[in-house]
Structure 1
């Protein structure tokens, strides 16, 4: 009913938007969020066998290989669990981050290979990227990784060790690992949306979050270009809290950290590349500031913080690109009056 009111009656839409911004509207959205997410969890639990049947067959066929590989690592690092944990949660995610961003930086700084530059979302920006601005961002990113992320991961290890050995000899089952990744994603969506939206309040934005928004046309590396306080609360906590709460195995935790790094890199990369998740949603956030606060867009839809985005060409392009034709060509911007 709410959607119909917004479409058919602009005055009603304005009233709805006003209610959403008030305390009652926020509380109503929170209740809706609980219902939607709770329903999703129940659905996943009820149909997990049928949804994961094909993947389970693959896992069953290759499970011995992964378990044997893990057993060799476990024996190799026997008595040095902390070292093994740090390699899996610091080294591998860092390689995933800089490996993916190294390729993107090559395009950002040289414009080559030129066929990738065709997929740039904001066509007139970062061609090439400003070297001084990039250098400043790189220094900040390295600072955040070394002096913020690494100490937090050390703390995570000791917290997880209180519940057991996160580097135990047995790998988790396929279904449990899949369920954990789903729970991590839900928790990240909730924590990132609300912490990110909090950082957009005027007082916090001015002193902390404005730094991240210096890049109105983002590139991959600025995914963790942020004030240290924001990096702790909005970048790190939504990612590390899930494995701590669930007492996850190192294998699942390491996979999750790598996926989180690659996902946020894609969201900020500035290119809508074929067969990769669409970054249009978060790119629009950097462009307009007051829209699209979340990761998946679920809470933005419930809170109405994507209404302007859904009226744009960027929203039409917010889909998986399954051809080699850039979406800014197949879904071009509406010509301005007089052109």
Structure 2
């Protein structure tokens, strides 16, 4: 009931003030609107009659480059334990310094399988469902106003579906069979964001992200942007580093450390259900903020000295 009330209030708030907010944003963004429409028109004309290929380019190739490009940089740091100006931001400072090569190779095999053999076919299915509803590769880009509302809807859908599916996989019978694999990494690194049992990858990783554009019948431009944002977001949440000017990964890192806290993405449903109560009593919670300086939060907000030392 609390979750329905808060989410419903948020939707009403967006409905009431969305026009005013997005009018100002549209005015700010409008100067580049023609530029992007012209670029899209050129690309659309090149793929005329091949909408399926264009859709896969935007929903498979582009997100794949973003995902592996981001994780390649993180893997370099994880494997080499260098440079020090990045490793000093490690959340669990005594872990993955450097990462265990054998454990990493094992994880990469599962990640590659999930990415190619599960995510790929699900995107194909998404194309056919979206084509049934309309034209995901239409010649006109969505307005900034509509794209912003869609992204907001995607975030809400993902928060609801991920929280409850993730919490379901923590039920003892399902945890042992499926979700325990993901929690082999008590100190996660970026690439293990999709290191999971195939069934969990379908239900808890892919569906919460893919279902939003299908429900709203979104344009490929918004869908591509959303897939990229979702992949970067989950990578940052698992990366193990609290870096300046990036979203805080403390919330999900604590979940890997303690298992029974912090199930969601945004933390809204965790607060409503009380599944972040222990987290809010920790130093990790104090550090769960945007880092705007070059001083690691483990230095500015250090752990309490261990008893007896």
Q: Does 1:72 align with 2:39?
A: no
From 152, 158, 168, give the equivalent of 2:138.
168
From 218, 224, 245, give the equivalent of 2:215.
245
2:260 aligns with: 290
Which 4+ runs in 1 deviate beyond 6 A? none
Q: 1:283 is paired with a residue of what secondary structure? A: helix
2:116 aligns with: 146
Q: Does 1:261 align with 2:231?
A: yes
Structure 2 CA distance, aligned partners of 1:287 and 1:255?
A: 31
1:106 aligns with: 76
Q: 1:52 is paired with a residue of what secondary structure? A: helix
Structure 2 CA distance, aligned partners of 1:208 and 1:58?
A: 47
1:206 aligns with: 176
Structure 1 CA distance, aligned partners of 2:30 and 2:306?
A: 56
Q: 1:162 is paired with a residue of what secondary structure? A: helix
- Quote the offset at 1:187 in angstroms: 0.3
Structure whose alpha-carbon radius of gyration is higher: 1
- Quote the offset at 1:55 in angstroms: 2.5
Conserved 8 A contact 2:23-2:145: no
From 85, 90, 98, give the equivalent of 1:115.
85
Structure 2 CA distance, aligned partners of 1:54 and 1:138?
A: 44
Within a 5 Å distance, the mapping from 1:55-66 to structure 2 comes to: 55-66=25-36
- Cα-to-partner distance string for 1:219-277 (whole Å, 9 max, x where unaligned): 00000000000000000000000000000000000000000000000000000000000
- Quote the offset at 1:59 in angstroms: 2.1
1:41 aligns with: 11
Q: 1:36 is paired with a residue of what secondary structure? A: helix
Q: 2:133 is paired with a residue of what secondary structure? A: coil
- Quote the offset at 1:54 in angstroms: 4.2
Structure 1 CA distance, aligned partners of 2:29 and 2:237?
A: 29
Conserved 8 A contact 2:188-2:239: yes
- Quote the offset at 1:146 in angstroms: 0.8
- Quote the offset at 1:58 in angstroms: 3.0
2:240 aligns with: 270
Structure 2 CA distance, aligned partners of 1:248 and 1:52?
A: 18
Task: Output the aligned Cα RMSD.
Answer: 0.8
Q: Does 1:336 align with 2:278?
A: no
Q: Does 1:96 align with 2:96?
A: no
Aligned residues: 309
Conserved 8 A contact 2:162-2:204: yes
1:327 aligns with: 297
From 47, 53, 57, give the equivalent of 1:83.
53
1:50 aligns with: 20
TM-score, normalised with respect to structure 1: 0.90
Within a 5 Å distance, the mapping from 1:26-37 to structure 2 comes to: 31-37=1-7
Structure 1 CA distance, aligned partners of 2:228 and 2:181?
A: 25
2:95 aligns with: 125
2:160 aligns with: 190
- Quote the offset at 1:53 in angstroms: 4.2
